[in-house]
Structure 1
Amino acid sequence: MRTDEEVAGRPQGRQHTVGVVAKALDVLEGVVWGEPQTIGELAQTTGIEKAAVYRILNTLVEHEFVVKDDETRTFAPGPRLYAAAAALHRGTDVVSLATPQMTALRDEFGETVNLGTLIDHEVQYLHILESSHSLRMTVEPGVRHPANSTALGKALLAQLGPSAARTALAHTPAPRMTEHSIVDPTVLEAELKRVRARGYAIDDQENELGAVCVAATIPPTGAAARHAISISGPATRMTPRAVERIGARLMQACSEVAELLPAGEGRDVVPSA
């Protein structure tokens, strides 16, 4: 960020700059390089008036470059910012790195394999490798589903800590995709605790009747996880024994993908709350 001396030393009237954009960039830098901060803390860090910081953050949140933790009232980098960073490093983006493992998983289990990321209270599918079965579970890349009803979403929410359930269901009415969807925050918190203990999440006909899905994050444990891989198929083939085998294999695959990521993109694991 720019110091007062740097600002004062600029040639006045010779640089065609937009003041509000400069302030927005300062706020964004404060979010990116520091720990999650409140509006007041960011105002103090950047030297920008609190009201302006408030408006800038609201705009960045609306465009998903920044996310807000409603419980702590702090702000952190959002999914679109991570996507923009990944676009600058095409050779090391998660889709490219995960595809070999996803292909191996599809060939091993014969079911559809998905890669997704968490955007607010929804999961966005980034990459899908379809099963060769005529009866298969699939979705188009770019589609979003509620985090509370998907294995991908629950896996990612579990790594964010106990407050994630309340944040995910803060949008009322809570999304109920099927009669099995979890829409009670207390029940979801208990489910996420089980996910953290087990290492992988299960969607048992919660997002689509007749479909079961298993997911693990990249890496399988830690708040640094931003992406998850899932395997989905019909409930007739996704038996409890199959789900257990898939869960263990997914954790192994996700660990191997995480090892390929640059530091700070899934390898700087922080224990979840």
Structure 2
Amino acid sequence: MADKPQPSRQDQLRAKPGRKANENAAPSSVQVLDRSLKLLDLVASADGAALTELADQSGMAPSTVHRLLTALAGHGMVTRDAETGAWTIGLKAFEIGNAFLRFRKLGTISRPFLKQLMERSGETANIGIEDGGDVVFISQVESHAPMRAFFRPGRRGPIHASGIGKAILSTWPDAEIERLLSTRSLPRFTENTRDTLSKLLADLEVTRTRGWSIDDEEHTLGMRCLAAPIFNEYGEAIAGISVSGPAVRLPDGTLAELGPVVRAAAEGVTRAMGGVGNDSRKPS
């Protein structure tokens, strides 16, 4: 009698019970992670959010939101106020954010430059980076004036209507700017907003010649801003430094005086980080 063929190792693995269930475990875990990170982002964007609000914003059932928040709280990523019931960002998330700043070296190194810039200008000084076509504010030193600009660390802003955003964009070739912005709209916030690509590119050309950008009430009426780019060791603009304040305290003459001061601060941060300026880079 002929020997019965033995099943291959691959056939044996296919025949094992529970194989399909194990294969489906990974996508389920990814979905939980995706939902958890979405909730974490919503909590971070608010000054305190109720469970029902988070459920509405996320499109998830309240029971699911509660389960995920409880898991995040167990890792210190979020915390719940015992009196109000509101969920806020946790200490662990703050530590992770600080780790990012340490990696970038901007948080510590830029601090004295921000203080000097605030004292010299009398206005709020800011540091921001570009992320996904937005500006993210990561540090600031507030003015002592009763009426002043304020940008909460972590706040995102539109890159085309931001002094820091335009300072960073001015170091990019036009073709790169067009690739980033050609598929998205440029919201109009005020009558001064550069809300078309042609208007923005014309503004950036002036910025390249001048050496610093100006947000002339382009995002918020009554507020003006000056900014200059900060470069890394490869000559790439990774951030911007700015001063922002009420337009009544920043007329054209004051802007002209402070422009070189802001640019000098940006150059100082660049050198302190071991970066190199890239004035020779030409837009294409």
Higher helix share: 2
Equivalent in the alignment of 1:121: 133
Aligned residues of 2:109 and 2:272 also touching (Cα < 8 A): yes
| 1:203 partnered with 2:215 | yes
Cα distance between partner residues in 2 of 1:166 and 1:214: 23
Looking at CA atoms only, which structure, 1 or 2, has the larger radius of gyration?
2
Equivalent in the alignment of 1:271: 281
Equivalent in the alignment of 1:8: none
Q: Deviations over 1:82-135 (max 9, x none)?
A: xx9x94893870121111011001111110111001112210001011111111
Equivalent in the alignment of 2:143: 131
| Structure 1 SS opposite 2:243 | strand
Deviation of 1:160 (Å):
1.1
Aligned identity (percent) is 29
| 1:172 partnered with 2:184 | yes
| Structure 2 SS opposite 1:159 | coil
Equivalent in the alignment of 2:201: 189
Deviation of 1:241 (Å):
1.1
| 1:144 partnered with 2:178 | no
Compared with structure 1, are the counterparts of its residues 178 and 165 closer, same or farther at alpha carbon in structure 2 (3 Å cutoff)? farther
List aligned pairs for 1:23-172, cutoff 5 A.
87=99, 90=102, 93-172=105-184
Q: Deviations over 1:24-44 (max 9, x none)?
A: xxxxxxxxxxxxxxxxxxxxx
Q: Deviations over 1:2-43 (max 9, x none)?
A: xxxxxxxxxxxxxxxxxxxxxxxxxxxxxxxxxxxxxxxxxx
Equivalent in the alignment of 1:20: none
For 2:249, the aligned partner's letter is R
Equivalent in the alignment of 2:6: none
For 1:228, the aligned partner's letter is G
TM-score, normalised relative to structure 1: 0.63
Deviation of 1:165 (Å):
3.6
Aligned residues of 2:231 and 2:277 also touching (Cα < 8 A): no
Aligned residues of 1:177 and 1:206 also touching (Cα < 8 A): yes
Cα distance between partner residues in 2 of 1:206 and 1:145: 12
Please, what is the CA RMSD of the aligned residues? 2.7
| Structure 2 SS opposite 1:245 | helix
Equivalent in the alignment of 2:75: none
Cα distance between partner residues in 1 of 2:108 and 2:129: 15
| Structure 1 SS opposite 2:229 | strand
Q: Deviations over 1:231-261 (max 9, x none)?
A: 0000000011111111100111111111111
Equivalent in the alignment of 1:244: 256
TM-score, normalised relative to structure 2: 0.60
| Structure 2 SS opposite 1:134 | coil
Deviation of 1:171 (Å):
4.3
Equivalent in the alignment of 1:259: 271
Which is worse superposed, 107-116 or 170-179? 170-179
Cα distance between partner residues in 1 of 2:99 and 2:252: 39
| Structure 2 SS opposite 1:182 | coil
Aligned residues of 1:229 and 1:254 also touching (Cα < 8 A): yes
Q: Deviations over 1:43-74 (max 9, x none)?
A: xxxxxxxxxxxxxxxxxxxxxxxxxxxxxxxx
Question: How many residue pairs were aligned?
Answer: 187
Aligned residues of 1:160 and 1:223 also touching (Cα < 8 A): no
Aligned residues of 1:158 and 1:164 also touching (Cα < 8 A): no
Cα distance between partner residues in 2 of 1:232 and 1:110: 10
Deviation of 1:168 (Å):
4.4
| Structure 1 SS opposite 2:143 | coil
List aligned pairs for 1:220-231, cutoff 5 A.
224-231=236-243
Deviation of 1:176 (Å):
1.8
Cα distance between partner residues in 1 of 2:167 and 2:124: 17
| Structure 1 SS opposite 2:265 | helix
Aligned residues of 1:223 and 1:272 also touching (Cα < 8 A): no
